[in-house]
Structure 1
Amino acid sequence: MSQKSEYIQTETGNKVSRKSLIIGSQNIILGGKTIIQADCCIRGDLRRLVPQGQNAAAVAIAVGRYCFLSKSCLLRPPSKTYRGQFSYYPMKLGDHVFVGEGSVVEAAVIGSYVNIGKNCVIGKFSIIKDCVRIEDGTVIAPNSVIPSFSSVEGHPGIVVEELPETAAEMLERELNHQ
């Protein structure tokens, strides 16, 4: 009897744990060489409702290249009620994004070279620019904009340090050692 590997590998080099929960996979784009660990949940079924007859992109979550989604993290598109209509909006993650164990992400955009620590909450419609480190246990308020080259921590999350211009290389190295 052959033993199945814990991970399924796609043509583009993504590795997805058989123990992860990917709902609405037709609405999720993985850029390539992304790793999704066990018990990670990605909610691609939560997508924008479009009136009949209108054509719109069905992408709920777009994940860039070389991302790492840790155990028990949750990616869920942000939602709101606008003009009496409840809807979900797309989420986009850049390249080289690390999401720590147990973190919940409902951001609109996460740039490239972003390291989100363990047990963080990234509020609805947050925008995290490139080269950002979010420390363990941080809570980013909804609609926040975190500037590039920032280190953020706390509840609510505030910028506590400015990262050097070499932050992209530093964050990529951290991601490769996870």
Structure 2
Amino acid sequence: MTDDSVSSLEGSEEKFNLAAPEEEGYVKTAAYNYISRKSFIHGPQNIEMRGKSIIKDGVHIRGDFSTVKIGRYCTIHENTIIRPPSYQASFDANAEEQIKFLPLLIGNHTRIGKNCVIEAASIGASVYIGDDVVISKRVIVKDCCYIESGAVIVDDTVIPPFSRVKGCPAKIVEEGLMPESVVVTFPEDCVEGFTEFVRNLEKENKS
């Protein structure tokens, strides 16, 4: 999955600016990203999106902490917080910087559900994340994973490719490994979901 991996995010990225959420609807960017006017985009100069992704109402993206890169055909659902991971740089109370932040990377064709808190270092391509999920600091989620709703993944965990994860604290479900077909089906579902979203939005705008 080299084309869709997090490492392929360089090139064709778009940085965008979004005013405070004062209106209904979505802002459509030059790269065909749709950003809700009711989302909260902090530090937009540090947020890069490859295109055709959707940011829904109430989403907070904390680009003011560090760089956030989002791949193509991603959807981040309502009231989710995307916050770059931090680490303790110094335990000296007199140090200028005790906490430092790392970049946060999200691969192509990834869906993040409602009311999630994401502080991962990276989330791979073709990852499905349910609602009310907590992905804690510096977690790495590899490609083609399925994170069930309500899962809490603790700091510094690495989730291997094709894993199915659930629980609090989250564990890999041994009998629930994802089939290799998700390499095809996840991207297809994301493209179809984006197309349907745009079609419905255009209908609403015409009515």
Bin the TM-score by the shorter chain.
0.7 to 0.9
Q: 2:128 is matched with which residue?
A: 115
Cα distance in 2 for residues equivalent to 1:136 and 1:126: 17
Mapping 1:138-177, distance limit 5 Å: 138-160=151-173, 161-175=176-190, 176-177=192-193
Contact 2:24 2:38 in 1 (8 A): no
Of Structure 1 and Structure 2, the greater strand share is in 1
| Matched letter for residue 22 of structure 1 | I
Q: Give the SS at the match of 1:165.
A: coil
SS in 2 for 1:156: coil
Cα distance in 1, alignment partners of residues 51 and 172 from structure 2: 31
Alignment-derived partner of residue 50 in structure 1: none
- Residue deviations 1:125-166 (CA, integer Å, cap 9, x gap): 000000001000000111000000111100111111111111
**What is residue 32 of structure 1 aligned with on the other side?**
51
CA deviation string 1:30-77 (max 9, x = no partner): 110010001011000012xxxxxxxxxxxx100111100000011000
In structure 1, give the amino acid aligned to 2:56: Q
Alignment of 1:3-14 (within 5 A): 6-14=25-33
The 4+ residue runs of structure 1 with deviation greater than 6 A are: none
SS of the aligned residue for 1:149 comes to coil
What secondary structure, in the 3-state scheme, does the structure 2 residue paired with 1:87 have? strand
CA distance in structure 1 between the aligned counterparts of 2:148 and 2:165, rounded to whole angstroms: 6
Pick the aligned partner of 2:78 from 65, 68, 71: 71
1:124 aligns with 2:137: yes
Which amino acid letter does the alignment assign opposite residue 128 of structure 1? Answer: V
Find out whether 1:135 has 2:132 as its counterpart. Answer: no
Identity percentage of aligned residues: 40
1:80: Cα distance to partner? 1.1
Unaligned runs of 5+ in 2: 1-22, 92-97, 195-207
Cα deviation for residue 81 of structure 1 reads 1.2
Cα distance per residue 1:2-29 (max 9 Å; x no partner): xx76011000010000000001000110
The total of aligned residue pairs comes to: 163
**Structure 1 unaligned regions, length at least 5:** 48-59
